[in-house]
């Protein structure tokens, strides 16, 4: 794969992706990064935005089989139907990114999630972008790739980086959502809480240290 072909011109607005929390459009045909303590919940919220019932709405969830952190399906059920999840567990570190790349290139799933123990480098991320673009050209659907990383993340070359951290009170479940990086939007933060029916909703609030 020739990664030198990837330029900013490769990203086109006519490739719809998925909408996060009914407000933020994550570009299709690209790889994004979710980080923070509750990054997996954020990925489930993104998955919940896809209300289709076709095969493409199945979420491919790739993870290392040696890592102790795994989704608890009882908790998943609060966000999405667990039957939508297809788990792929890799036994070698080198297989993780390869597996995501091939899934994006196939273009069969609108959302492909990769749970990594640390951020990947620039070249693997560029390969993911190219694979997602190839998936769009093949199927007409622009798959969204989401890389899950701990802490503040730091994967180079991602289309956007989002962090979700718990911010609960005695009265309610709350989270702090941070947009740490995006090509066309500024750094910002929001408070997220459960709304009617348990659906997460957000309210923007200023955070001077990120301004």
Residue 2 scores a pLDDT above 90: no
The number of domains in the chain is 1
For the chain, what is the mean pLDDT?
90
Boundaries of domain holding 173:
14-210
Compare 171 and 32 and report the one with higher pLDDT: 32
Least confident residue range of 72-76, 77-81, 101-105:
72-76
Spacing of C-alpha 210 from chain mean position: 22
Question: Is residue 192 situated within a structural domain?
Answer: yes
Residue 15 scores a pLDDT above 70: yes
| pLDDT bucket at 108, cuts 50 / 70 / 90 | very high
Question: Is residue 102 situated within a structural domain?
Answer: yes
Question: Is residue 3 situated within a structural domain?
Answer: no
Query: Which neighbouring-strand residues pair with 20?
Result: 24
| pLDDT bucket at 13, cuts 50 / 70 / 90 | low
pTM over 0.75: yes
Question: Is residue 5 situated within a structural domain?
Answer: no
* Whole-number percent of the chain with pLDDT over 90: 74
CATH of the domain at 164: 3.40.50.300
List of residues 6+ apart from 53 with CB closer than 8 A? none
Question: Is residue 65 situated within a structural domain?
Answer: yes
Closest CA to 61 of 37, 28, 39, 78: 39
Radius of gyration of the chain (CA): 16
């Amino acid at each position: 794969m020739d990664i030198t072909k990837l330029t900013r011109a490769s990203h086109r607005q006519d490739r719809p992706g998925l909408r996060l929390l009914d407000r933020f459009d994550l570009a299709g045909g690209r790889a994004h990064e979710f980080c923070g303590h509750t990054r997996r919940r954020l990925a489930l919220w993104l998955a919940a935005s896809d209300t289709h019932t076709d095969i493409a709405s199945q979420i491919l969830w790739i993870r290392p089989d040696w890592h102790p952190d795994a989704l608890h399906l009882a908790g998943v059920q609060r966000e999405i139907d667990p039957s939508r999840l297809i788990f792929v567990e890799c036994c070698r570190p080198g297989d993780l990114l390869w597996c995501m790349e091939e899934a994006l290139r196939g273009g069969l799933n609108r959302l492909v999630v990769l749970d990594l123990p640390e951020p990947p480098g620039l070249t693997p991320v560029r390969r993911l972008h190219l694979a997602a673009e190839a998936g769009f050209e093949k199927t007409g659907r622009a798959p969204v790739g989401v890389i899950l990383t701990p802490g503040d993340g730091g994967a180079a070359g991602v289309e956007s980086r989002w962090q979700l951290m718990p911010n609960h009170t005695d009265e309610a479940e709350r989270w702090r959502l941070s947009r740490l990086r995006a090509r066309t939007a500024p750094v910002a933060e929001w408070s997220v809480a459960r709304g009617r029916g348990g659906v997460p909703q957000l309210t923007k609030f200023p955070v001077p240290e990120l301004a």
